[in-house]
Chains A and B, each alone.
Chain A
Amino acid sequence: AQKVTQAQTEISVVEKEDVTLDCVYETRDTTYYLFWYKQPPSGELVFLIRRNSFDEQNEISGRYSWNFQKSTSSFNFTITASQVVDSAVYFCALTAGANSKLTFGKGITLSVRP
Protein backbone atom coordinates (compact mmCIF):
# COMPACT_ATOMS: atom_id res chain seq x y z
CA ALA A 1 0.00 0.00 0.00
CA GLN A 2 1.11 3.53 -0.65
CA LYS A 3 1.00 6.44 1.74
CA VAL A 4 1.83 10.14 1.47
CA THR A 5 2.30 12.32 4.53
CA GLN A 6 2.28 16.08 4.49
CA ALA A 7 2.92 16.99 8.11
CA GLN A 8 2.48 20.72 7.57
CA THR A 9 -1.17 21.73 7.35
CA GLU A 10 -0.98 25.50 6.99
CA ILE A 11 1.86 27.85 6.16
CA SER A 12 1.68 31.61 6.06
CA VAL A 13 4.48 33.74 4.60
CA VAL A 14 4.98 37.28 3.46
CA GLU A 15 5.42 37.93 -0.22
CA LYS A 16 8.98 37.39 -1.54
CA GLU A 17 9.82 34.89 1.20
CA ASP A 18 10.97 31.42 0.17
CA VAL A 19 8.79 28.55 1.35
CA THR A 20 9.39 24.79 1.43
CA LEU A 21 6.58 22.27 1.47
CA ASP A 22 7.44 18.88 2.92
CA CYS A 23 6.32 15.48 1.67
CA VAL A 24 7.18 12.01 2.92
CA TYR A 25 6.03 8.92 1.07
CA GLU A 26 5.81 5.18 1.62
CA THR A 27 5.75 2.46 -1.00
CA ARG A 28 7.18 -1.00 -1.44
CA ASP A 29 7.39 -0.65 -5.19
CA THR A 30 10.78 0.15 -6.66
CA THR A 31 9.21 1.97 -9.59
CA TYR A 32 7.10 4.93 -8.65
CA TYR A 33 6.36 8.53 -9.57
CA LEU A 34 5.94 11.52 -7.32
CA PHE A 35 3.93 14.61 -8.12
CA TRP A 36 3.08 18.02 -6.78
CA TYR A 37 -0.27 19.58 -7.60
CA LYS A 38 -1.65 22.99 -6.72
CA GLN A 39 -5.32 23.60 -5.98
CA PRO A 40 -6.39 27.26 -6.08
CA PRO A 41 -9.78 28.30 -4.66
CA SER A 42 -11.43 27.50 -8.00
CA GLY A 43 -10.93 23.82 -7.18
CA GLU A 44 -9.06 22.52 -10.21
CA LEU A 45 -5.89 20.57 -9.48
CA VAL A 46 -3.01 22.04 -11.44
CA PHE A 47 -0.03 19.82 -12.22
CA LEU A 48 3.30 21.32 -11.14
CA ILE A 49 6.08 18.73 -11.21
CA ARG A 50 6.69 14.99 -11.64
CA ARG A 51 9.67 12.87 -10.69
CA ASN A 52 10.34 9.15 -11.12
CA SER A 53 12.03 6.90 -8.61
CA PHE A 54 15.11 6.40 -10.75
CA ASP A 55 16.00 10.04 -11.05
CA GLU A 56 17.09 11.79 -7.88
CA GLN A 57 18.49 14.76 -9.68
CA ASN A 58 17.04 17.88 -8.20
CA GLU A 59 16.05 20.67 -10.52
CA ILE A 60 14.89 24.21 -10.62
CA SER A 61 12.11 25.39 -12.88
CA GLY A 62 11.54 29.11 -12.62
CA ARG A 63 10.60 29.85 -9.03
CA TYR A 64 9.97 26.16 -8.28
CA SER A 65 12.55 23.65 -7.15
CA TRP A 66 12.34 20.23 -5.59
CA ASN A 67 14.48 18.00 -3.45
CA PHE A 68 13.94 14.28 -3.95
CA GLN A 69 15.79 12.01 -1.49
CA LYS A 70 15.11 8.28 -1.64
CA SER A 71 17.17 7.68 1.50
CA THR A 72 14.62 9.60 3.55
CA SER A 73 11.61 8.98 1.28
CA SER A 74 11.08 12.68 0.95
CA PHE A 75 10.04 14.85 -1.96
CA ASN A 76 10.07 18.47 -0.82
CA PHE A 77 8.98 21.41 -2.94
CA THR A 78 10.28 24.96 -2.67
CA ILE A 79 8.81 28.17 -4.00
CA THR A 80 11.35 30.96 -4.22
CA ALA A 81 10.28 34.58 -3.85
CA SER A 82 6.67 33.68 -3.16
CA GLN A 83 3.85 35.72 -4.65
CA VAL A 84 0.25 36.28 -3.57
CA VAL A 85 -0.88 34.19 -6.56
CA ASP A 86 0.92 31.21 -5.03
CA SER A 87 -1.74 31.07 -2.32
CA ALA A 88 -3.41 27.69 -2.72
CA VAL A 89 -3.52 24.18 -1.33
CA TYR A 90 -0.56 22.08 -2.41
CA PHE A 91 -0.80 18.31 -2.70
CA CYS A 92 1.96 15.77 -2.93
CA ALA A 93 0.95 12.54 -4.66
CA LEU A 94 2.37 9.14 -5.48
CA THR A 95 1.65 6.46 -8.05
CA ALA A 96 3.47 3.15 -7.95
CA GLY A 97 3.74 -0.14 -9.75
CA ALA A 98 1.49 -1.06 -12.65
CA ASN A 99 -1.12 1.35 -11.43
CA SER A 100 -2.39 4.77 -12.37
CA LYS A 101 -4.04 5.44 -9.04
CA LEU A 102 -2.75 8.59 -7.37
CA THR A 103 -2.40 8.51 -3.61
CA PHE A 104 -2.56 12.02 -2.22
CA GLY A 105 -1.38 13.61 0.98
CA LYS A 106 -3.79 15.74 3.01
CA GLY A 107 -2.51 18.94 1.44
CA ILE A 108 -0.81 22.08 2.72
CA THR A 109 -2.65 25.41 2.69
CA LEU A 110 -0.20 28.12 1.71
CA SER A 111 -1.14 31.75 2.32
CA VAL A 112 1.10 34.43 0.89
CA ARG A 113 0.43 37.85 2.38
CA PRO A 114 1.30 41.04 0.51
Chain B
Amino acid sequence: KAGVTQTPRYLIKTRGQQVTLSCSPISGHRSVSWYQQTPGQGLQFLFEYFSETQRNKGNFPGRFSGRQFSNSRSEMNVSTLELGDSALYLCASSPRAFQETQYFGPGTRLLVL
Protein backbone atom coordinates (compact mmCIF):
# COMPACT_ATOMS: atom_id res chain seq x y z
CA LYS B 1 0.00 0.00 0.00
CA ALA B 2 1.33 3.42 -0.87
CA GLY B 3 2.04 5.72 2.03
CA VAL B 4 0.86 9.25 2.65
CA THR B 5 1.93 11.59 -0.12
CA GLN B 6 2.32 15.34 0.09
CA THR B 7 2.83 17.89 -2.64
CA PRO B 8 4.77 19.97 -3.21
CA ARG B 9 7.77 18.85 -1.20
CA TYR B 10 9.42 22.25 -1.17
CA LEU B 11 8.00 25.71 -1.59
CA ILE B 12 9.36 29.23 -1.44
CA LYS B 13 6.95 32.12 -1.06
CA THR B 14 7.16 35.76 -0.09
CA ARG B 15 5.36 37.55 2.72
CA GLY B 16 1.76 38.34 1.97
CA GLN B 17 1.27 35.56 -0.54
CA GLN B 18 -0.91 32.55 0.04
CA VAL B 19 -0.10 28.88 -0.34
CA THR B 20 -2.00 25.61 -0.74
CA LEU B 21 -0.53 22.29 0.33
CA SER B 22 -1.95 18.94 -0.68
CA CYS B 23 -2.10 15.58 1.09
CA SER B 24 -3.24 12.19 -0.18
CA PRO B 25 -3.84 9.71 2.65
CA ILE B 26 -3.16 6.01 2.65
CA SER B 27 -5.83 4.23 0.61
CA GLY B 28 -8.82 3.49 2.83
CA HIS B 29 -7.89 6.02 5.50
CA ARG B 30 -10.60 8.57 6.19
CA SER B 31 -8.99 10.78 8.82
CA VAL B 32 -6.38 13.36 7.86
CA SER B 33 -4.53 15.58 10.31
CA TRP B 34 -2.07 18.41 9.72
CA TYR B 35 0.86 19.44 11.90
CA GLN B 36 3.34 22.29 11.77
CA GLN B 37 6.94 21.68 12.83
CA THR B 38 9.30 24.54 13.63
CA PRO B 39 12.59 24.57 15.56
CA GLY B 40 11.15 26.85 18.20
CA GLN B 41 7.67 25.42 18.77
CA GLY B 42 8.23 21.82 17.79
CA LEU B 43 5.36 19.77 16.42
CA GLN B 44 2.00 21.47 16.75
CA PHE B 45 -1.42 20.24 15.72
CA LEU B 46 -3.23 22.34 13.11
CA PHE B 47 -6.48 20.52 12.37
CA GLU B 48 -8.08 17.18 11.65
CA TYR B 49 -10.62 16.21 9.03
CA PHE B 50 -12.83 13.17 8.91
CA SER B 51 -15.45 12.51 6.23
CA GLU B 52 -15.01 16.03 4.84
CA THR B 53 -15.70 17.64 8.23
CA GLN B 54 -13.23 19.46 10.42
CA ARG B 55 -13.37 17.65 13.73
CA ASN B 56 -10.68 19.37 15.68
CA LYS B 57 -8.63 22.53 15.35
CA GLY B 58 -5.40 23.63 17.01
CA ASN B 59 -4.51 27.06 18.28
CA PHE B 60 -3.63 28.76 15.01
CA PRO B 61 -4.96 31.99 13.49
CA GLY B 62 -7.72 31.98 10.93
CA ARG B 63 -5.16 32.41 8.15
CA PHE B 64 -4.70 28.67 8.40
CA SER B 65 -7.55 26.70 6.88
CA GLY B 66 -8.13 23.35 5.34
CA ARG B 67 -10.61 21.08 3.69
CA GLN B 68 -11.12 17.46 2.84
CA PHE B 69 -12.60 16.03 -0.32
CA SER B 70 -14.90 13.06 -0.78
CA ASN B 71 -11.91 10.86 -1.71
CA SER B 72 -10.30 11.79 1.66
CA ARG B 73 -7.59 13.90 0.04
CA SER B 74 -6.96 17.07 1.98
CA GLU B 75 -5.60 20.51 1.33
CA MET B 76 -4.48 23.19 3.72
CA ASN B 77 -4.22 26.84 2.86
CA VAL B 78 -2.27 29.62 4.50
CA SER B 79 -3.18 33.14 3.49
CA THR B 80 -1.19 36.34 3.99
CA LEU B 81 2.01 34.48 4.70
CA GLU B 82 4.31 35.67 7.46
CA LEU B 83 7.99 34.91 8.00
CA GLY B 84 7.03 32.81 11.02
CA ASP B 85 5.01 30.46 8.83
CA SER B 86 8.26 28.98 7.53
CA ALA B 87 8.07 25.39 8.69
CA LEU B 88 7.75 21.75 7.80
CA TYR B 89 4.07 20.93 7.33
CA LEU B 90 3.27 17.31 7.98
CA CYS B 91 0.12 15.47 7.04
CA ALA B 92 -0.94 12.25 8.74
CA SER B 93 -3.70 9.78 8.03
CA SER B 94 -5.44 7.10 10.05
CA PRO B 95 -8.17 4.60 9.18
CA ARG B 96 -11.00 6.11 11.15
CA ALA B 97 -10.72 8.24 14.20
CA PHE B 98 -9.86 8.57 17.82
CA GLN B 99 -6.55 7.36 19.09
CA GLU B 100 -5.64 5.27 16.10
CA THR B 101 -2.10 5.28 14.86
CA GLN B 102 -1.41 8.19 12.54
CA TYR B 103 0.93 7.61 9.62
CA PHE B 104 2.83 10.59 8.36
CA GLY B 105 3.82 11.82 4.94
CA PRO B 106 7.23 13.25 4.03
CA GLY B 107 6.08 16.81 4.63
CA THR B 108 6.19 20.06 2.71
CA ARG B 109 9.01 22.46 3.59
CA LEU B 110 7.74 26.01 3.26
CA LEU B 111 10.12 28.93 3.28
CA VAL B 112 8.66 32.43 3.49
CA LEU B 113 10.97 35.25 2.45
Contacts and interface: CB of A to CB of B under 8 A. Distances in A.
Given A45-B90, A99-B56, A106 B42 contact: yes
B56 A100 contact: yes
B98 A45 contact: no
Nearest to B94: A100
Contacts of A33: 99
Contacts, number: 63
A35 B101 contact: yes
A33 B101 CA distance: 9
A99 B31 CA distance: 12
Interface stretch (A17-25, A36-44, A60-68, A79-87): A36-44
Of B58, B97, B99, B104, chain A has the most CB atoms within 10 Å of the CB of B99
B109 A102 contact: no
Interface in A64-114: 91, 93, 95-96, 98-107
Interface of A: 31-33, 35, 37, 42-47, 50, 52, 91, 93, 95-96, 98-107
Interface of B: 31, 33, 35, 42-43, 45, 48, 50, 55-56, 58, 88, 90, 92, 94, 97-107, 109
